[in-house]
Amino acid sequence: MAKAPVLTPQAEDFPRWYQDIISKAELADNGPVRGTMVIRPYGYSIWEQMQAEVDRRIKLAGARNAYFPLFIPESYLTREAEHVEGFSPELAVVTVAGGKELEEPVVVRPTSETVIGEFMAKWVQSYRDLPLLLNQWANVVRWELRPRVFLRTSEFLWQEGHTAHVSEADGRAYAVRILHEVYESFMRDVLAMPVVVGRKTAKERFAGATNTMTCEAMMGDGKALQMGTSHELGQNFARAFDIAFQSAEGQQELAWTTSWGVSTRMVGGLIMCHGDDAGLRIPPRLAPVQVVVMAVREDDAVIDRCRSLVDELLAAGIRVESDLRTETSAGRRATDWELKGVPVRLELGPRDLAEGAVTMIDRIAGTKDAVPLDGIAIRLHAALDAAQTALLAQATARREERTAEVTTIEEAVEAAATGWARIPWRAVGVEGEAALAAQAITVRCLVMPDGSLPPADDTPGAVAIVARAY
47 lies in the same domain as 138: yes
111 lies in the same domain as 26: yes
- CA triple 337-341-342, angle to 5 deg: 70
Is the peptide bond between 343 and the residue preceding it cis, with omega within 30 degrees of 0?
no
328 lies in the same domain as 463: no
Query: 431 burial class (0-12, 13-18, 19+ CB within 10 angstroms)?
Result: exposed
Domain membership of residue 44 (yes or no) is yes
Domain membership of residue 389 (yes or no) is no
pLDDT of residue 83: 83
CA 171 – CA 445 distance, rounded (Å): 21
Domain boundary among 322, 356, 384: 384
Nearest by Cα to 158 from 136, 181, 183: 136
377 lies in the same domain as 433: no
Cβ contact 213:197 at 8 Å: yes
Q: What are the Cα distances from residue 52, in Å, to 59, 159, 217, 292, 464?
A: 11, 11, 21, 22, 33
N-term to C-term CA, the chain: 38
Phi, psi of 450 (to 5 degrees): -85, 5
179 lies in the same domain as 264: yes
Continuous segment of H or E residues that includes residue 193? none
Domain boundary among 274, 309, 327: 274
Residues 6+ apart with CB under 8 A from 386: 364, 365
Q: The domain spanning residue 314 has which CATH number?
A: 3.40.50.800
Quote the distance between the C-alpha of residue 321 and its chain's center.
25
Structural domain of 44: 14-274
CA 61 – CA 252 distance, rounded (Å): 28
pLDDT of residue 400: 98
Nearest by Cα to 141 from 95, 92, 105, 94: 92
- Average pLDDT along the chain, 470 residues, taken 10 residues at a time: 74 98 98 96 98 98 98 92 85 96 96 97 98 98 94 97 98 98 98 98 95 98 98 96 97 98 98 98 98 96 98 98 97 97 98 96 97 97 98 98 98 98 97 97 97 92 98
pTM here is 0.96
> How many distinct structural domains can be found in the chain?
3
